[in-house]
């Protein structure tokens, strides 16, 4: 039963020179590609589900796909996480659906309101043995319902939007969160930077000083691989100037700093779209979905495998499993009640 919270993962990731990849799941091919990549690289995994994914795929289907993954690969530590939960109601629903980790994102609210909604979500989640990620600061870009600032606006006023280290410790103390999504210069979507991509490493250092031991989370951290952007543009797509966070900067953030979780969604979408476009353009007579979804799945798996080395989480599955066993195999109460009975 290797479905667990992120705690055993972050215990080892913080100061351990690696981060756990949190990949967004929307359909079967994407899920399979991510899971097979983690199995091949013996890497822990956070499967993220957004409100949009719940709506698109139907939670019941997603849930059974995740159960299938857990059965296929009992050797891989997996957490199921709600990405950008916007209400305590949704947090409750996800806990009942068996999520082991939830995000409550109150970052668009005024500070005091963010504190309150986050503290409420933590109370509900902790009572069920589920961990909570919250967000402080402002990210650029657009992701589903989460609309941030344009790359230009964001870069111009970046200091104003980065997570304030002093506010972070106040927030941490008053909410009792388990991890914090921080604004350190990353952006959602495929158009993250107008100019040179740069993460605010000094801000991460300051946050680690004011909030020692608090696992930090990087959103908007896809690297937007140019090979896929080129395929998209070559085969009839139109994504000029798509730009992400360079992998060497992500690698530095996870190896030298307290970043324990890195969110990847755009890169999955991009790999899938690029491959499907390539098949459609080069084999116009093709109409068997397996023959374009199959190559898309392969491309995602290959890309995720490379990513797991960037995050340095490859080969860390065993150590996390052992640590989880040492902690007494804690599970959210949902599992204690239903699955273990
Ligand atoms: Zn995000």
What digits encode the pLDDT tens for the residues 251-298?
Answer: 999 999 999 999 999 999 999 999 999 999 999 999 999 999 999 999
Say if residues 34 and 311 touch (Cβ distance below 8 Å).
no
pLDDT of 341 > 50? The answer is: no
- In total, how many domains does the chain have? 1
CA of 221 to the centre of ligand 1 (A): 9
Among 42-51, 66-75, 80-89, where is mean pLDDT lowest?
A: 66-75
86 confidence band (pLDDT: 50, 70, 90): very high
pTM for this predicted structure: 0.94
Give CA–CA dist 194/205, Å, rounded.
25
Q: What is the CATH number of the domain that holds 80?
A: 3.20.20.70
Based on the residue annotation, tell me whether 164 is a catalytic residue of this protein. Answer: no
CA of 84 to the centre of ligand 1 (A): 6
Q: How far is CA 311 from the centre of its chain?
A: 12
CA of 189 to the centre of ligand 1 (A): 9
pLDDT value of position 1: 54
Say if residues 134 and 177 touch (Cβ distance below 8 Å).
yes
- Residue 51 placed within a domain: yes
31 confidence band (pLDDT: 50, 70, 90): very high
Show the domain range for 283: 9-332
- Residue 205 placed within a domain: yes
Half-sphere exposure for 209 (CA within 13 Å, toward CB): 9
Give CA–CA dist 67/274, Å, rounded.
29
- Residue 272 placed within a domain: yes
- Residue 81 placed within a domain: yes
Give CA–CA dist 99/94, Å, rounded.
6
Range 122-161 burial, b when 16+ CB lie within 10 A, else e: bebbeebbbbbbbbbbbbbbbbeebebbebeebbeebeeb
Q: Report the percent of the chain where pLDDT is more than 90.
A: 83
pLDDT of 158 > 80? The answer is: no
DSSP letter (8 states) at residue 3:
B
Q: Report the percent of the chain where pLDDT is more than 70.
A: 94
């Amino acid at each position: 039963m290797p479905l667990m919270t992120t705690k055993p993962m972050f215990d080892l990731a913080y100061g351990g020179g690696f981060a756990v990849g949190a990949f967004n799941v929307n359909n079967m091919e994407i899920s399979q590609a991510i899971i097979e990549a983690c199995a091949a690289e013996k890497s822990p995994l956070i499967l993220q589900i957004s409100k949009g994914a719940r709506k698109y795929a139907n939670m019941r289907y997603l849930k059974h796909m995740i159960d299938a993954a857990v059965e296929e690969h009992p050797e891989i530590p997996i957490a199921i996480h709600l990405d950008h939960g916007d209400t305590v109601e949704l947090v409750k629903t996800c806990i009942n659906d068996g999520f082991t980790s939830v995000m409550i994102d109150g970052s668009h609210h005024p500070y005091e309101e963010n504190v309150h909604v986050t503290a409420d979500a933590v109370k509900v989640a902790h009572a069920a043995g589920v961990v909570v990620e919250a967000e402080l600061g402002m990210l650029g870009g657009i992701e589903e319902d989460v609309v941030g600032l344009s790359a230009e606006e964001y870069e111009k006023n970046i200091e104003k939007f980065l997570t304030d280290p002093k506010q972070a410790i106040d927030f941490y103390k008053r909410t009792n969160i388990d991890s914090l999504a921080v604004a350190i210069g990353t952006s959602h979507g495929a158009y993250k930077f107008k100019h040179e991509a740069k993460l605010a490493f000094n801000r991460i250092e300051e946050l680690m000083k004011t909030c020692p031991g608090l696992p930090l989370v990087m959103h908007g951290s896809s690297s937007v691989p140019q090979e896929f952007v080129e395929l998209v543009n070559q085969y009839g797509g139109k994504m000029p100037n798509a730009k992400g966070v360079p992998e060497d900067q992500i690698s530095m953030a996870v190896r030298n700093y307290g970043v324990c979780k890195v969110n990847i969604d755009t890169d999955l979408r991009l790999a899938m779209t690029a491959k499907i476009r390539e098949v459609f353009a080069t084999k116009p007579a093709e109409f068997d979905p397996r023959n374009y979804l199959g190559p898309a799945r392969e491309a995602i798996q290959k890309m995720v495998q490379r990513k797991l080395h960037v995050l340095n989480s490859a080969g860390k599955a065993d150590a996390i499993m052992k640590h989880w066993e040492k902690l007494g195999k804690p599970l959210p109460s949902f599992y204690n009640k239903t699955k273990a009975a």
